Amino acid sequence: MTTCSGGSSGSGLKPRALAGCLALVLASGPLIGCSLFNKDSDYIPDTPADKLYNEGLFLANDKDDYKQAAKKFDEVDRENPYSDWARKALLMSAFSYYKAGQYEDCITAAKRYVTLHPSSPDAPYAQYLIGSSYYDEVLDISRDQARTRQALNALQEVINKYPDSEYALAAKKKIEMARDQLAGKEMEVGRFYLQKHDYLGAINRFKVVVTQYQTTREVEEALERLTEAYLALGITDEAQTAAAVLGHNFPDSPWYKDAYSLLTNAGGKPNENKGSWISRAFKKLGMG
């Protein structure tokens, strides 16, 4: 049976060919209605499943009323829990909640779909909706980043479980941005410690960026800040290594110019110590 699947990017997520699905459902309703399976053979739902489903599609596709559409799709499951319509309606409910900005409801519906229908062709989309819902709730770096971590985990599930799906690439892009967000949070805290002259606290934060978020845009500043913090502590060897690794990997970076200036003003110059944790961290990823 043809199902409605989702799009692949950002807030423009839209199940494929909603209008086409609507036409197909309307055309085949009488036939499909005969295939409903109820726990009680004498049970007659208040409203036929296909009618509720079609009403939900109409509200979502023609009226852009996603809140009301979600309610219609939820009714399908309540009124016809053992039908194939319930499976399709559950995915459409998750989609409609996402479009309405009701992310918790979307996550609940999408998680239920993945649990009940893990081998469905639409399971990757449901998992992507979970990650996207968390992602759209990410707060700025001055706030707690719990949602960012949840988004990372949920989006990584798309890649791990459905690597060949059309949503894997979209998930990777959002993962990159989420990692930038987490790295930015570490940098914010590290700069705070640096201003308070808590150099060890600052180094620990910058170290997280260098070791865990090395491919983000924050790593250049992290290396410069390490140069600054190690110089302040008199640990010249590590300061020289941080600057040398920065210059080797990002020679045109303005942060390298700052690190170079700090060292030369202190009477030193960039010089990589291959045994340093900084050097090892970059070699581990093939960047050094």
**To the nearest whole percent, how much of the chain has pLDDT over 70?**
82
What is the pLDDT, as a whole number, of residue 47? 78
Confidence of residue 77 (pLDDT cuts 50, 70, 90): confident
Q: 66, 5, 55: which is closest to 29 by C-alpha?
A: 55
What's the pLDDT tens digit per position in 107-131?
999 999 999 999 999 999 999 999 9
233 pLDDT more than 50: yes
What's the pLDDT tens digit per position in 13-51?
545 444 344 333 333 343 333 333 344 444 455 678 889
What is the pLDDT, as a whole number, of residue 139? 84
269 pLDDT more than 90: yes
Question: Amino acid identity, residue 242?
Answer: A
CB distance 202 to 193 below 8 Å: yes
User: What's the token pair of residue 34?
Assistant: 């005969």
Confidence of residue 142 (pLDDT cuts 50, 70, 90): confident
- Residue of higher predicted confidence among 57 and 20: 57
| CB atoms near residue 60 (< 10 Å) | 26
What is the pLDDT, as a whole number, of residue 23? 36
CA angle 230, 232, 234 (to 5 degrees): 70
What's the pLDDT tens digit per position in 162-213?
999 999 999 999 999 999 999 999 999 999 999 999 999 999 999 999 999 9
Quote the pTM value: 0.77
- Residue of higher predicted confidence among 222 and 27: 222
The contacts of residue 119 (CB under 8 Å, 6+ apart) are none
CB distance 182 to 135 below 8 Å: no
What is the pLDDT, as a whole number, of residue 284? 65
Give the torsion through C-alpha atoms of 153, 184, 230, 268, to 10 deg: 120
The residue ranges of every structural domain in the chain are 15-99, 197-284
157 pLDDT more than 90: yes
Q: How far is CA 268 from CA 197, 236, 252, 279, 281, in A?
A: 22, 8, 20, 18, 23
